[in-house]
């Protein structure tokens, strides 16, 4: 019985000796914390006093776990962008420095997810699983780290892939008026990357929730969410979130690029981004310039789009292709923000509301659209037909204007107009229906060979669909050469044209039977029978059959 108290005494002595040693080893440390005070709160911004050691674009923690970014660092106060619900913030509330800049979660765990620019999940599937975070503002790749654009980025749109080609690592601007199909082109480009080894990031900036939900539904329906990340800043979010959204999306895409993968990023749209930045700048009392935009409006977009490139092979060989979208007003391409982005990017796809109203979809104005570097990456089969096709289409658009006024046209002009109408009909394409490369090349070669010229216009859609299906019969070795060859050989061209000609045979009109000779004249040598009634003169000729002056 006496052993139990002895053991208990030993345990107590051991515990107290350990506590005394820990007390002797403990050295209290003071961690300095800078605390500031809110002086005023406005729409999307807050003015803060104190925090003398804060840096530019450093994160600030407000009450209620609301984050802000130090945007104006003046001698007496700080102007901060608010990145959350600021309804509960009031003057006199305390704020605290975080000692870090704004960053976002990156990695494969984001694929298939819908997040906001802060990295919070919006799809109701739980928190985002990511172990790596990168700053949203990062320097662009150095010039010596970049590789030439040499690999095509297929969009699945015939008019784009043939006439306005895009390469991996390129920046191609999409601009047009409201409701002309800008987002549809970008979404179709994302859908076409399925099984192509390309990851996609779709960044919605200041969009309506219904429009974003529709885009997400289209991507889910076609199985594109498996390789896509969606970053959303809705129209009712604070302007600070709309401002940081494209930078956060670019950091997510850059992480994939630096691991050696090809990435396509869509900014929808940078007009809302520029307006959010203008709103914040005016609230922070920054001096306005043209159209009330601040003087550095060019820089916020140039430093964003300069991050899109193709890396050298020793750096992984990844690429980041950008499709920024801009909204114009009354087709005014010379406005401030559109001209800025035209000068920053490597080409533009211009959409025409007049073509949209005529039912030409996608409503791309080929004459105003251009790709400055994509032609170097275009496949040889496209290059073999693209030049003649674009010239014929441009001639058709010019001649069509004169034809509308009832001008008298000769036979060659009428043939050019009929050929151009069939080019336009073949370049028409339904939304969310990307066309594979072999089918595109078959249709384009058939157009170049004039096989569609004798097809009636009311049967053009059916004829094109037939040629599309016939492309599946292209020999396997020919299909491989279409993907890899530097030049389209005459044998391969003849093979594809023969397949298209067989497919279009049922759509060719039956030959008209000529007038039968009389029985009396049938046996007379040198006798030529003529129809009883004289034919009517052709359009553009006088009664004698000569060309009208």
Instruction: Enumerate the active-site residues.
Output: 372
Count how many Cα atoms sit within 13 Å of the Cα of residue 392 in the half-sphere of its side chain: 23
Q: Closest Cα partner for 200 from 326, 320, 104? A: 320
The alpha-helical segments, DSSP class H, found in 307-379 are: 336-344, 353-357
Query: Distance between CA atoms of 534 and 541, rounded to whole angstroms?
Result: 14
Q: Which residue has the tokens 């030993």?
A: 10
Distances from the Cα of 543 to the Cα of 413, 546, 548, angstroms: 20, 7, 9
Pair 348, 340: CB distance under 8 Å: no
How far is 346 from 341, CA to CA, in rounded Å?
9
Cα–Cα distance for residue pair 418/455, rounded to 1 Å? 10
For residues 6 and 4, what is the distance between their CA atoms, to the nearest angstrom? 5
How far from 103 is each of 26, 136, 244, 247, 250, CA to CA, in Å? 35, 5, 10, 10, 12
Q: Nearest CA to 274 among 337, 364, 193, 317?
A: 337
Tell me if residue 375 falls in helix, strand or coil: helix
Strand 228-234 to 114-115 pairing: parallel
Let me know: does 345 contact 333? Beta carbons within 8 Å. no
Q: Which two tokens stand for residue 40?
A: 């005023």
Tokens standing for 542?
């006088």
| Cβ(135)–Cβ(362) below 8 Å | no
Helix axes 437-448, 411-427, angle to 10 degrees: 170
- Sequence-distant (6+) residues with CB within 8 A of 489 are 481
């Amino acid at each position: 019985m006496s052993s139990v108290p002895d053991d208990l005494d030993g345990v107590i002595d051991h515990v107290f000796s350990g506590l005394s040693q820990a007390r002797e080893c403990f050295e209290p440390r003071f961690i300095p914390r800078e605390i500031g005070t809110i002086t005023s709160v406005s729409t999307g911004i807050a003015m803060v006093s104190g925090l003398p050691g804060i840096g530019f674009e450093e994160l600030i923690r407000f009450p209620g776990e609301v984050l802000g970014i130090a945007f104006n660092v003046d001698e007496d106060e700080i102007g901060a962008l608010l990145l959350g619900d600021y309804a509960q913030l009031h003057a006199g509330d305390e704020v605290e420095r975080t000692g870090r800049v704004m960053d976002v979660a990156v990695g494969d765990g984001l694929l298939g997810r819908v997040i906001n620019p802060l990295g919070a999940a919006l799809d109701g599937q739980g928190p985002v699983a990511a172990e790596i975070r990168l700053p949203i503002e990062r320097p662009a790749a150095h010039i010596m780290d970049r590789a030439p654009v040499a690999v095509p980025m297929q969009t699945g749109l015939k008019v784009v892939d043939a006439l306005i080609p895009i390469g991996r690592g390129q920046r191609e601007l999409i601009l047009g008026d409201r409701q002309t199909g800008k987002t549809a082109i970008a979404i179709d480009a994302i859908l076409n990357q399925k099984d192509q080894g390309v990851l996609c990031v779709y960044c919605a900036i200041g969009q309506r929730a219904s429009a974003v939900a529709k885009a997400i539904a289209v991507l889910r329906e076609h199985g594109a969410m498996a390789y896509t990340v969606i970053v959303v800043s809705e129209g009712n979010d604070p302007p600070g979130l709309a401002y940081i959204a494209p930078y956060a999306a670019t950091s997510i895409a850059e992480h994939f690029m630096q691991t050696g993968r090809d990435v396509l990023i869509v900014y929808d749209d940078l007009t809302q981004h520029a307006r959010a930045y203008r709103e914040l700048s005016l609230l922070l009392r920054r001096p306005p310039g043209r159209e009330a935009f601040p003087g550095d409006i060019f820089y916020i977009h140039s430093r964003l789009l300069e991050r899109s490139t193709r890396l050298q092979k020793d750096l992984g060989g990844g690429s980041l292709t950008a499709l920024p979208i801009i909204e114009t007003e009354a087709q005014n391409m010379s406005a401030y923000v559109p001209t800025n982005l035209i000068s920053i990017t490597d080409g533009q796809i211009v959409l025409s509301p007049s073509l949209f109203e005529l039912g030409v979809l996608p409503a791309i104005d080929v004459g105003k659209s251009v790709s400055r570097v994509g032609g170097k990456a275009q496949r040889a089969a496209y290059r073999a037909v693209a030049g003649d096709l674009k010239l014929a289409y441009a001639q058709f658009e010019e001649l069509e204007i004169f034809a509308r006024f009832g001008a008298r046209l000769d036979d060659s002009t009428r043939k050019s107009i009929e050929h151009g109408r069939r080019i336009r009909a073949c370049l028409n394409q339904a939304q969310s229906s990307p066309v594979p490369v072999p089918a595109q090349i078959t249709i384009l070669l058939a157009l170049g060979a004039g096989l569609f010229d004798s097809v009636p216009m009311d049967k053009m859609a059916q004829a094109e669909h037939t040629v599309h299906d016939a492309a599946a019969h292209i020999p396997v070795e020919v299909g491989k050469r279409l993907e890899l060859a530097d030049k389209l050989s005459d044998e391969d061209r003849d093979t594809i044209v023969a397949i298209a000609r067989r497919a279009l045979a049922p759509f060719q009109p039956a030959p008209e039977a000529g007038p039968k000779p009389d029985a009396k004249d049938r046996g007379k040598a040198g006798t030529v029978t003529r129809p009883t009634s004289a034919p009517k003169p052709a359009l553009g000729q006088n009664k004698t059959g000569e060309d009208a002056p």
